[in-house]
Amino acid sequence: MTVQTTAWIGLGANLGERAAALRSALTGIGALPGTRVLRVSSLYRSAPVDAGGPDYLNAVAEVSTFLTPQALLEALQTLEQAAGRERPYRNAPRTLDLDILFYGDVRLESAGLTLPHPRLHERAFVLLPLAELAPERVAPEWLAGVAGQAIERWGGVDWGNVLV
């Protein structure tokens, strides 16, 4: 473990019981060693970007963690696997997708992890929920660039019981 860091994680699912998968993922994230879920955005429904399949449900979680970026990534991938995530091809439909969007102010480029997330500025399903939690991390031109993507706030989800 390292120093305590605030990270923002994008959550998405477009197969199975999507809302239940996201709620379960948030519970799993909060149970990671040295990690707490601080806040969660509203839930959004969005059309797939550069992919086919059913609409996604998406949210962003703000977490506090002592895990390193690599350890956090590995833990998130374990949660994806536990939810039945398969990777038959790029941008395949998925039961759960967890992406580290920002890890504090860390900038990192490695074979398995790039921070900040390299495509976050291209996706309304990331930017709108992220803007709820950390508007200072979302450039106005990014929002303008995704204005044509199909997305809407979805229902009134109470995440209260997954926050510690």
Q: DSSP secondary-structure letter at 149? A: S
Name the token pair of 10: 């994008």
Helix (H) or strand (E) holding 44: strand 44-46
Domain assignment present for residue 162? The answer is: no
pLDDT tens across 24-75, in order? Answer: 999 999 999 999 999 999 999 998 877 778 899 999 999 999 999 999 999 9
Domain assignment present for residue 113? The answer is: yes
Domain assignment present for residue 77? The answer is: yes
Name the domain count of the chain: 1
Q: DSSP secondary-structure letter at 61? A: E
Burial class (CB in 10 A: 0-12, 13-18, 19+), 149: middle
For residue 74, give the CATH number of its domain.
Answer: 3.30.70.560
Report the predicted TM-score, pTM, of the whole model to 2 decimal places. 0.90
151 contacts 44 by C-beta, under 8 angstroms: yes
pLDDT confidence of residue 157: 65
Which residues are catalytic, by number?
Answer: 85, 94, 97, 99
Domain assignment present for residue 161? The answer is: no
